[in-house]
Structure formats: C-alpha cells, structure tokens
Structure 1
Amino acid sequence: MIYEALEILRSEISDYLKSLPELNVAGNTVVSMTNVAKDDGTVDIPNNNIGLTLVNIEEERLVRDVTPHRINPDNSVSHLNPEIRLNLLVLFVAHFNDYKTSLQYISGLIRFFQRKTVFTPDNSPSMPDGIEKLVVDLHQLNFEQQNNLWAVLGAKYLPSVLYKVRAIKIQEGQAKDLQTPITSIKIVGKGKEAG
C-alpha cells in the first residue's frame, strides 16, 4: 500500500503541475519517485523533475484499532491482529538547472497541497482498493533536523518541502483462528441450567 499511496500523489501532482501555464512543462514526467542521491553523493533525481522520496515511516498509535476479532457473515468469529496505520514522511525535492525554476515548481507543489489535502476514492478515482483516505499535511523541520535529514540522504541541500501523509492502513486480513459463535450458556452447579 505504501507504493500505491505515493503513486497516487506522484500522478496527481504531476498532472496539476502540467496544467500550470507559468511552468510551461515540456516533458511527460514532472514528478519522479526516486532516491535523492546516488551512493557517490550525486543527485539521483532526473534533471528538470521533482523527486518524491520516502524518508520515514511511523506508526499512528492514536487511532489504533485494538479489536482483535471480526464477525463473519456466517456468524463465526475470526481473530486477527489489529490493523496498523502508518504515517509516511515524504520529501519533495526540486532538481532544475535554474534556481528560479526550482522555486516555481516547489511553489506549485505547495499550491497543489493547499488546494487538496484529503484524497479519497471520490476525489481520486485512481485510488486502489485498500486505501480509504490519505490526509497530507506540511511537516516542518528546524535547521538542525533539516541538516541531519540531508546528511542521512547523502546530498547537498536542494529546494524542497516535507509532507506527512497520514493513515495508510495495513491489514493482512488472514485470521489467526476461526471459532464458532457462542449460542448458549450452561451454568453448572446447584442444579440450575440456562440455555
């Protein structure tokens, strides 16, 4: 589901940036899902593109479903591990020959997310089954955190912006066991029985 969620963002951002007349987009690919840097420290993002890079995955614990069972259509009970909801930190990096162009593309990207922060099957028809909703928020780093991030990425700073994509749901769906429902209770002792 992680790749699929990022592909939805990549595709919609790319379409939006192509529609902006001030950017005068020439190629088909405007946003590429890629690493920021190669092993030797050179930029891995294609020239004249925005690179989309996953920089962190964290579990969303506040909305965690702790219900360990599911009632099936035949009234049997399946025990499942609770679903996991993930937050993805996604870095968008502008790699253009001209600094002004880099800033224009980053500005266009920020305008896209200002316009659309919630992605659902209703407003994003290409959203695959299994993804109910994506919520995207701007995520700010202080200078020290930003310096550390770019050091880990192994690249020199380029114009960029970081977003948090919330609530990617991961659920294997395979039951740990299957049990028949309780249909009666039998109380043993003192000769009483209920059923």
Structure 2
Amino acid sequence: MIYETLVCITEEINSSFKRKLQTNEEKAILSGIVNQDGSVAIQGENKIIVTLLNVEKDTIGKSTAGTPVGVTTPNTAPAVNINLYVLFSAYFSSNNYPEALRFLSFVVAHFQSKNVFTRANTPAMDARIGKLIFEMESLGADKLNNIWTTLGAKYMPSVVYKVRMLTFDDSIIREYRPVVTGTEGSVGPA
C-alpha cells in the first residue's frame, strides 16, 4: 500500500499542475533522488520529485476494523498503522530556480486546500486505503541538513509532509509479479 499511496499522491500533484498550469507534461515523478552508486536517479530536470523518507508506526491510531492496535483476535495478527514521511523536492536547473520555487509553492498550496484524501474526493485512491491526512512538517536546519546528508544529495528546495495513516494486515498481500527483463534474443516456447 505504500507504493499505491505514493503513486496516487504523485498523480494527484500532476493533475493539479495540469489543471492550473495548462501543461501536459508530467512534472511530478515518484523517485529516489540518488542511486546507490551516488549517481543522480532522475532523468531530466525541472521536476518535482516525490520521495519516501521514512515509515513510522503509529501507536495512537486504531485499526480500520474497530479493533484497537495491539489487540488480537484468534488466528490473526493485529493490524499495524503506519505514517509516511514524504519529501517533495524541486529538481530544477540552476538557471530555473524561480520556477523551482513556484512549483514547490503549488505543492504546498495543493495540500493546504486538500489535506484529507478519501475515496470520495480522490477516486483514483486504492480501495484498501481509508483516508490519508497530510500534515506539513517543520524541520529545523539541523534536521534538514541530516536528511540531505543521509540522502547523499545536494540541497534542493523542498517540503516534507507526514501522511497519516495506512493500516496494514495480511489482506494487503495480493500477488507478486516480478519485473520481466532481458527479453532480447529470447525464443518462444518450443
């Protein structure tokens, strides 16, 4: 459900950009910032990068089934509620810094006007997600420095949101489909 949530958020931001800016280009992308080898993970420039920073267990919330977190029923493990910390970074060329700030402002304005996502106001949201609540995180200079150092990237204009709350239980596991790679030169069945 983490993937589905982040894809939904990215699509929502792109839809907002398309409506307000009359653009057909996908300006928001779901991506890490730096690859494991230290190279830049983003193809192209002038994008808002949506990156998962952290997953945190929510010990205050209750499961969607009405059973408090930590309470088990026979033959089932308790549901786990989690919060996501999502970084929205403006990856724009150096001569396009004003546009980076403009697009970052659009992201903040979007979540200011729509900070609760439900199936009623976001039809593309996965049916297993009940509700998402967005809260802007205020980070001091030391935390901000730690984030960018940990990511292994140079600072970009950015904002962090805490996204409450996904409930996990064994019903989220559907099917694993590995990515098909290396199909060149393959032959069909004999």
TM-score scaled by structure 2? 0.80
Which residue does 1:143 correspond to in 2? 141
1:18-68 CA distances to partner (integer Å, 9 max, x unpaired)? Answer: 2223xx6352x1111101123454432331211100010000001142331
Task: Give SS of 1:106's match.
Answer: helix
Which residue does 2:114 correspond to in 1? 116
Task: Give SS of 2:107's match.
Answer: helix
Which residue does 2:55 correspond to in 1? 57
Which residue does 2:33 correspond to in 1? 36
Q: 1:94 aligns with which of 86, 90, 93?
A: 90
Which residue does 1:159 correspond to in 2? 157
Identity of aligned residues (%): 35
- RMSD, aligned CA: 1.7
The alpha carbon displacement at 1:86 in A equals 0.5
Residue 58 of structure 1 contacts residue 87 of structure 1 at CA under 8 Å; is this kept in 2? yes
Which residue does 1:183 correspond to in 2? none
Equivalent pairs counted in the alignment come to: 163
Which residue does 2:6 correspond to in 1? 6
In 1, Cα distance between equivalents of 2:124 and 2:140: 35
In 1, Cα distance between equivalents of 2:51 and 2:30: 6
Q: Which letter does structure 1 place at the counterpart of 2:100?
A: S
Residue 91 of structure 1 contacts residue 160 of structure 1 at CA under 8 Å; is this kept in 2? yes
The alpha carbon displacement at 1:132 in A equals 0.5
Unmatched segments (≥5 aa) in structure 2:
63-67, 173-190
Task: Give SS of 2:170's match.
Answer: coil
Larger relative contact order, structure 1 or 2 (CA cutoff 8 Å, min sep 6): 1
Does residue 126 (structure 1) correspond to residue 124 (structure 2)? The answer is: yes
Task: Give SS of 1:131's match.
Answer: coil
Unmatched segments (≥5 aa) in structure 1:
70-77, 175-195
The alpha carbon displacement at 1:122 in A equals 0.7
